[in-house]
Copies of this chain bind each other. A is one copy, B any other.
Amino acid sequence: MRVTGNSLGRKLGLAGLACAVVLLASAPARAEVSSETAFIFNTFSFLVSGFLVMWMAAGFAMLESGLVRTKNTATICLKNIALYSVAGIMYYVIGYHLMYTDVGSYIGTFGIFYNAGDAETALIAAGGDATPEQLAAVVDNGYSVMSDWFFQMVFVATAASIVSGTLAERIKFWPFMIFVVVLTGFLYPIQGSWTWGGGWLTEMGFSDFAGSTIVHSVGGWAALVGAVILGPRKGKFGADGSVHPMPGANLPLATLGTFVLWLGWFGFNGGSQLALGSAADAANMAIVYVNTNLAACGGVVAAIILTQLIYKKIDLTMSLNGAIAGLVAITAGPDLQHHGLAIVIGGIGGALVVFAVPLIDKLKIDDVVGAVSAHLVAGIWGTLAVGIFGGGDLVTQIVGIVAIGAFMIITSAIVWYVLKLTVGLRVDEEAEEMGLDKAELGMEAYPEFGHGSQSL
């Protein structure tokens, strides 16, 4: 049997756990994991994996800070810390319920807030006086309620982080934040409920272990639709079809951001095992770590070789996006057990970026950091790869990709358009010229560094 995503992975974990308990009862001489021990492992795994994924917010912030121009750097820093904050609050206030509570086929409930529940509260309050029944009421859940919430919350923040980079250097701060509110409170959770909440896509057998489609393509679609509606930066595309390069201002920061994302991805994919309370869970998590790492390696190597062959110069930015694309591509199926396949899947992800970036430029869509290529294109590829290499049904995979894509295109187009027609999406030309840092924030990211020849 193969785990097919967050929700089935969860079932496997709980099944393994139940199994352990039964074995222990029937065969006391064997050395099994107790249910409370499994509960602690599962909970701690969510917390450790969760803080790794939280760290990805810093990765996006550094990647985007490094890839925008200095005049927009402070603004992109602000957007990144703001979107992470808003995502956390929105997912707490409304999102988690929509995604995970009493999900029907298409949506969960409209409850607000979320908490550890009576059983855990009672156990904690009882302290040393807790009864076996109080303990069992908690332990039977398999993991602590809020550790799961924490882990899921950092995922929604990741989806939002993807959007900020693409739309950098010309979108207004407040409309962007309103979009984040809608995305993290509603759009992401609703489509997420279809698969990880146990809705219609799970019933159909759609398999997306850690979210190539559910997280990365969702962020990618929102970014792509936003970029089309927002339009390119002034001067990016010439009337003659030429593309004016606007190189990132601080490539070591972009490199750092990529390493941060890579590190965080061990939590993203590894934690999506959703359990650590049995030997099978631990062994599978190790496999996930290895595949995650090797896919990123493949993405980097593919991008380096291809840019050397095509352009005769290696492109650092493309190589960084190659790593990310490799990671995105393996995310739908990091539990596949042939690691050579992980290198191939990641390598194809990295290659796709090398071709997608100029293609998107040719379409006159201005994606400042290449996020659409790395997250959407590679995300689709990774989800298809699960179908191609035997981890799921290819047609079902396509249904999932198309359904979620259609939902995101339509809903995010509506939100972007409403924002455009009401408060407006774009800073005025003068502000764009001057840079968003001075125009919207009244500050400079690097006030003391003189301006070189490429400064714009």
Contact = CB atoms under 8 A, between A and B. Distances in A.
B52 A51 contact: yes
Range, interface on chain A: 35 or more
B290 A150 contact: yes
A249 B448 contact: yes
Contacts of A391: none
Contacts of A441: 313-316
Given A286-B145, A447-B249, A81 B323 contact: yes
A452 to B, nearest CB: 4
Contacts of A29: 25, 28
Contacts of A18: 128
Interface in A28-50: 28-37, 39-41, 43-48, 50
B116 A289 contact: no
Interface string A278-316: 111111111101100110111011001000000101111
Main secondary structure of the interface of A (DSSP, over half): helix
A29 B255 CA distance: 54
Contacts of A417: none
Contact of A62 (B70, B256, B263): B256
B339 A113 contact: yes
Contacts of A294: 88-89, 92
Given A16-B128, A34-B31, A124-B280, A116 B337 contact: yes
Given A40-B277, A40-B281, 20 more contacts: A15-B128, A16-B130, A18-B128, A23-B135, A36-B278, A37-B37, A47-B266, A51-B266, A51-B289, A61-B256, A74-B251, A77-B252, A78-B316, A85-B298, A89-B298, A113-B339, A144-B282, A247-B443, A247-B444, A249-B446
